[in-house]
Chain A
């Protein structure tokens, strides 16, 4: 066959490599849309954080790093140092860490036993947990607010049942006072760091179970049985086999819940003492509250985001080293 029998390519027609299909265009379009949706709000906040508040008015665009300085050293620095917002950042990290760790620590044994029950029981529990996820933070906080209220909640129950008197008689009441969980007469949960962390834990507990369920149900039972045949007691099996094997899913669950809890607002504003509020509450106050200082709120948001990213990076390093 001679070359002449082949049809000659038309001048100017694109070759197969240069052809762009409709699918490729769709993919590029979706990627641009996703990038815009993810990056645009963040870029906007970063830009606003350098803005300048105008007294008695809104704010103007600017390139002023003063908002960041105010977060770290206070508005009057260098004359006067104020660690108020660093303290709020500290409480954000503290509450989120405690809430996430407590939720995963308590959800782990529950999920462990759940995966060892029958299929029907597992389904009922999971449906119940999933439905509890649909309850909003406001509703949960309202319930805990009543449960922990000094007049009609658990302190009242303790008083009426004589538990408070018994605690006083055995001397444990003073210990609870030392922890900020009692006033001179009664038990007191509001306001306290304990109530804040407990409510946060309750808030994310169903998520913890749902996150731990897949890795726990996939864990090969032969691993724990092998350990048992080699002389390991049940607690030793958990410590030396189950926890190390599930180290990454456990760490992942803690990190996920930590990030979620960093932004919790209603729980902290109801249960935390005014001196122990978090950066999330402070951001809301700046953006929507009395000060209407959006640039300062944006600067706090960027700092909170950076700290969250730092914590995630640290967690990933920790997990990576374990793996």
Chain B
């Protein structure tokens, strides 16, 4: 297989455009996460890839072959559903062996394959158990084993961790990633959880309002967001309005240097952002790019803390890490100074506003 490609794929429901025109290439053996808030079209896009929804426009290519009109049962992409969708009338082994049973594989052969897959997901001892007697994590593993039984060319997962508790979710993220790397299968995971996407994916597709806003490696997207939406959705950020000036920005009378300089015409209104962990606070700050601030709240979590401050440009959050020394006098009500490093400032067109992200 030479990978999966989407060319201008979109989906409309009457007058509502769920997915605009998406062009994406999924590389063979990679795990790609479709990440975005609820209603951004990521699940619809996954369902189009699986053949469960017909696209309103565009083409889907698998190894260069057009499979747009191919029904789901002929594509045979393994898929794990949000609810796991395990068949309640079959036991664990027969669930895993379902695709082999309907394709006419003999009983002994399909049971052997099912047991092999159950061993792979560490459930080899539960083959005879009823689905209703499984825990959430076990159900998810059965769903994964079942989707892999037909040796799919593409492995699709729709919010696979959403039904699991936080601890189990983190364990399963690692387990799923290790399994995917071992099998080398092209995998697409839909999630709204940026931590899940960042910890599992080779590449992330950040989606919003039916569009792919940015495609890239997790760290690349975090360090260099293409627009204010991505900057606000991936990780935390402090946003403020400014005007582009030669070599930097001007915001509420404060001049801030940028490295490299802004790619905006001087006088253009812009939206600037700075990650909380890149802001410096307190004594011995470098010259320039300073703002006066008043501490309004300190949220301390062990050796780390978030300092919420009020500045002339609006509220900022400053994240201070493990090198923190006690007794530096940072407390609510204290007047301090902030330093926004020139290389940490990101600048976007003024009309692109980040969406509130929980």
Contact = CB atoms under 8 A, between A and B. Distances in A.
What does DSSP make chain A's interface, helix, strand, loop or mixed? helix
A169 B77 CA distance: 54
Contacts of A241: 87
A184 interface: no
B83 A225 contact: no
Contacts of B50: 225, 229
B85 A230 contact: no
Contacts of B51: 228-229
A225 B102 contact: no
Contact of A231 (B83, B87, B103): B103
Interface string A211-233: 00000000010110111111111
Contact of A230 (B88, B89, B102, B156): B102
Contacts of B78: 229-230
Given A230-B146, A231-B73, A225 B52 contact: yes
A322 B76 CA distance: 29
A228 B149 CA distance: 14
Given A244-B89, A245-B88, A229 B83 contact: no
Contacts of B73: 228-233
Contacts of A225: 50, 52, 72, 79, 81, 85
A108 B147 CA distance: 29
Given A225-B72, A244-B89, A245-B88, A230 B83 contact: no
A247 B89 contact: yes
Nearest to B103: A231
B90 to A, nearest CB: 8
A226 B81 contact: yes
A220, A226, A233, A245, most chain B CB atoms within 10 A: A226
A229 B102 contact: no
B52 A228 contact: yes
Contacts of A228: 51-52, 71-73
A237 to B, nearest CB: 8
B351 to A, nearest CB: 38
Interface in A219-262: 220, 222-223, 225-233, 236, 240-241, 244-245, 247
Interface string B57-85: 00000000000000111111111011101
Contacts, number: 71
B87 A229 contact: no
B150 interface: yes
Nearest to A224: B85
A226 B89 contact: no
B233 interface: no
B229 interface: no
B77 A229 contact: yes
A226 B102 CA distance: 13
A223 B85 CA distance: 5
A233 B71 CA distance: 9
Interface string B81-108: 1110101110000000011011100000
A240 B99 CA distance: 11
Nearest to A245: B89
Nearest to B78: A229
A109 to B, nearest CB: 20
A224 B290 CA distance: 60
Given A231-B76, A231-B102, A233-B73, A226 B85 contact: yes
A230 B82 contact: no
B88 A222 contact: no
Contacts of B103: 231
B92 to A, nearest CB: 15
B147 to A, nearest CB: 8
Given A236-B102, A240-B102, A229 B79 contact: yes
Given A229-B52, A231-B73, A222 B81 contact: yes
Contacts of A227: 87, 98, 102
A229 B89 contact: no
A235 to B, nearest CB: 11
A43 B79 CA distance: 59
Interface string B138-156: 0000000011011000001
Nearest to B72: A228
Contacts of B75: 229
A240 B94 CA distance: 12
Contacts of A322: 89
Contacts of B82: 222
Nearest to A322: B89
> Lowest 9 A-B CB distances belong to which pairs?
A222-B85, A230-B99, A226-B85, A228-B72, A244-B89, A229-B79, A222-B81, A231-B76, A228-B73
Given A222-B85, A227-B98, A247-B89, 4 more contacts: A226-B79, A229-B52, A236-B102, A244-B87
17 contacts: A222-B83, A222-B85, A223-B87, A225-B81, A227-B87, A228-B71, A229-B73, A229-B77, A229-B147, A230-B73, A230-B146, A231-B102, A231-B103, A231-B150, A232-B73, A232-B102, A245-B89
Interface of A: 220, 222-223, 225-233, 236, 240-241, 244-245, 247, 322
